[in-house]
Chain A
């Protein structure tokens, strides 16, 4: 079945450590996104990528980094510079181009807890 796979589902990290969240899609979508979800704040965009080897900062990119070496993969690294990394992280993808209407397809999320 086509879809988006995020791993791990739950992750614990000590302060000062970097951690990488995996996101893989087999929907043949060009665009991929990372959102952060905190209670009462909705979803906030961290980074997005329209095409392989290209990505742009979203609204809250500080303390995060991404890469887009393959169409299927868009990993997110939460660095030690992120001051409040405990959150639920959601990866999404969408088709692009003139026919696209912007509907996003989401993974099941990764919950990061900093101890």
Chain B
């Protein structure tokens, strides 16, 4: 079965510094990978996805993600963090057979002023 792992429960970064939120995946076949963000008591918002093509994917709000096939990783990055980026971030992979998504456990990002 397809799965993703988010090894960090929380990531702390100072405003203005670069941030990385890690995700590794396990799939059979070519992966369809996604990043979502969730603010408190809200639904999930789509940030970006990797289907095929360039390994560096650009998304919403200045976020980008790097697909690395040899390391089976899809880390989320941003060159300069904002306090407003503080939220819960989920990595997800499309399951085989149908386009339902399997989610990681989430990583809480805290950006300090």
Contact = CB atoms under 8 A, between A and B. Distances in A.
B41 interface: yes
A74 interface: no
Contacts of A100: 99
Contacts, number: 63
Interface in B27-73: 32, 34, 36, 41-46, 49, 51
A101 B99 contact: yes
Contact of B43 (A42, A96, A103, A109): A109
Given A108-B43, A109-B42, A103 B90 contact: no
Interface in A62-107: 88, 90, 92, 94, 96, 100-107
B34 to A, nearest CB: 7
B96 to A, nearest CB: 11
Given A40-B105, A42-B90, A43-B103, A101 B43 contact: no
A48 B100 contact: yes
A35 B95 CA distance: 15
Contacts of A25: none
Contacts of A90: 43-44
Contacts of A102: 32, 34, 49, 94, 99-101
Interface of A: 4, 6, 31, 33, 35, 40-43, 45, 48, 50, 58, 88, 90, 92, 94, 96, 100-109, 111
